[in-house]
Amino acid sequence: MKFSIEKELGNGRARVGKIETTHGSIETPAFIVVGTKATVKSLSPEQVNTLGAQAVLANTYHLYLQPGEEIMKKSGGLHKFMNWHGPTFTDSGGFQAFSLGAAFNNSASKIGDRNNEDGKIGSADLHHKGTSCLINQTMSRSEAPLFLASSKKKDLLTVSDLNFSEHNQEKFAKVTEDGVEFRSVLDGSTHFFTPEKSIEIQHNIGADIIFAFDECTSPHASYEYQKEAMDRTHRWAKRSLDYHKENNEGGQALFGIVQGGRYEDLRKESAKIIGEMDFDGFGIGGSFDKEDIYTAVGWVNDVLPKGKPRHLLGIGEPVDLFGGIENGIDTFDCVTPTRIARNGSLYTRDGRINILNAKYVGDFTKVDSECSCYTCTNYTAAYLSHLFRAKEMMAATLASIHNLYFIVNLVKEIRASMLEGEFFEFKEAFIKRYYK
RNA sequence: GCGCCGGUCGGAUAGUGGCUAUUCCAGGAGACUGUAAAUCUCCGGCCUUCGGGCAUCGCUGGUUCGAGUCCAGCCCGGCGCA
């Protein structure tokens, strides 16, 4: 992998560049499309390519569970298996330590909301305070009957009811110094990921850019826990790097991941430690405050070496893309465009809309009059409304094409504005209209 | 005309004497940031000073401390027999 910087903005952080991999190049900044299980949900690779996506990011945990690393290896690798011949990334599975652990059943997202913190206390907060660093993996038995009692079930509860309900409350991941123990979300079987195991699987999957194994913490976690998780992530980074250097057959680049939650000192410490390791690039992960993701990104990028690419994991929204790029991010990935598309939300220049709203039933205009994606070129809002209400599969396809085009193309427009020296004007105009 | 069965929210249903009438669908709205998500949450009779108050299971009466539930008559629908 090679990274080159074409132009830097006057603020000393933002840059236009290019990442070159053995499967082609990525003009940065760029939005990387998420294809967790070796498919971008509801889209063929041809559609993903046509809408302008440059690269796809898949997930180690999910591909390890299904179809399994042996099949991934025998298939000839991710590119061949899924028929995507452009650049690819794999996430290490570290995010699942959060989404299946602390965040499970807990309404926690990796984005914290300062205005609404009291009502949402993550269980990681409640349980990590002991001597162990384990994330609590089950609710206590004394809590279970409360849950059942509120389920409005009139009949007497059977033993199988109890087992089912308790099982339902169980978390699927817990963290130890050596790695993360996972319960398969598919069949409940137990698996253990270490940094070495994650890298080994990622070698078998064969993406161009792979990530070190890390722990993504809840935004509700205390400073002490974030520090503890960060230190552990640093030790895991070194183990990931050592294993990669010993075992990779060339062609795959390894990115280290900066953690540190919402805290400036932790973020800077993490950037320094990870930045000094011999990674090919960096991921910035973990939890952020909603209002200033980019502030945290700025802290980190001022410390990271400039000559290597920085990927902001799991972000974002249009405003986050501007903020991230302005503060030195080269690539992003995010499930939002495809997930909200499947649920009926569509991006427009004037903000998000919900195509299922009654007003679109007879609206024969385009979803976004200024959009030139395949969907907007050929279909009306009324037709999309009909497909969603009829629960037709193509609703997901057309909506995903639109949302991905919107986000991928927005980043391309940002890139163009940077080259023309009009980044800040473009940002202001876009945000003013989108969030009005 | 006689007999049997049945009328519960826009639709379909659960409920056969007990306090808040169940669930699903359709409908209205919201959420979603490294994907356990084509998912999830909320709303849905009327009034309200937001504490609550008043209604409601085809209609009218009755039995009962208490009726969607039991009884009688009536209305409507289905089936059968004339």
Using CB atoms within 10 Å of the CB of residue A284, give its burial: 0 to 12 exposed, 13 to 18 middle, 19+ buried.
buried
What gap in Å lies between CA A30 and CA A16, rounded to an integer?
10
Domains within chain A, CATH numbers bracketed: 2-101+176-334 (3.20.20.105), 345-436 (no CATH)
Task: Please give the pLDDT value at position A115.
Answer: 61
A87: preceding bond cis by omega (within 30 degrees): no
Question: Can you read off the two tokens belonging to residue A201?
Answer: 């699987």
Phi/psi for A310 (5° steps) reads: -120, 125
Residue A165: enclosing H or E segment and its boundaries? helix A159-169
Q: Count other Cβ atoms within 10 Å, centred on residue A415.
A: 20
Distance in angstroms between the alpha carbons of the first and the last residue of chain A: 41
Q: Is the CB of A211 under 7 A from strand B?
A: yes
Q: Is the CB of A214 under 7 A from strand B?
A: yes
- Global confidence as pTM: 0.88
Give the gyration radius of chain A's Cα atoms. Answer: 22
Tell me the nt nearest to A358, Cα to C1'.
Answer: B28
Tell me the nt nearest to A152, Cα to C1'.
Answer: B22
What gap in Å lies between CA A396 and CA A343, rounded to an integer?
8
Using CB atoms within 10 Å of the CB of residue A87, give its burial: 0 to 12 exposed, 13 to 18 middle, 19+ buried.
buried
- Pick from A306, A311, A304, A366: which is nearest to A333 by CA? A311
Q: Is the CB of A333 under 7 A from strand B?
A: yes
Task: Please give the pLDDT value at position A292.
Answer: 81
Q: What is the pLDDT of residues A345-396, one digit of tens each?
A: 999 999 999 999 999 999 999 999 999 999 999 999 999 999 999 999 999 9
Q: Is the CB of A334 under 7 A from strand B?
A: yes
A93 or A165, greater pLDDT = A93
What gap in Å lies between CA A326 and CA A385, rounded to an integer?
36
A 383-412 residues, CB < 7 A, strand B:
389, 391, 393, 396
| The one catalytic residue among A292, A333, A350, A363 | A333
Torsion of CA A367, A373, A375, A380, to 10 degrees: 30
A 221-240 residues, CB < 7 A, strand B:
none
Q: What is the pLDDT of residues A165-209, one digit of tens each?
A: 334 456 888 899 999 999 999 999 999 999 999 999 999 999 999
Report ipTM (2 d.p.).
0.86
pLDDT at A297 over 80: yes
Q: What is the pLDDT of residues A16-55, one digit of tens each?
A: 999 999 999 999 999 999 999 999 999 999 999 999 999 9
A54's CB contacts (< 8 A; 6+ apart) are: A24, A25, A26, A27, A30, A32, A86, A87, A408
- A231 classed as catalytic: no
Q: Which nucleotides of B are covered by protein (CB under 7 A)?
A: 22-23, 26-40
Task: Please give the pLDDT value at position A142.
Answer: 24
- Pick from A223, A237, A306, A303: which is nearest to A266 by CA? A223
Identify the band that residue A122 occupies on the pLDDT scale cut at 50, 70 and 90.
very low
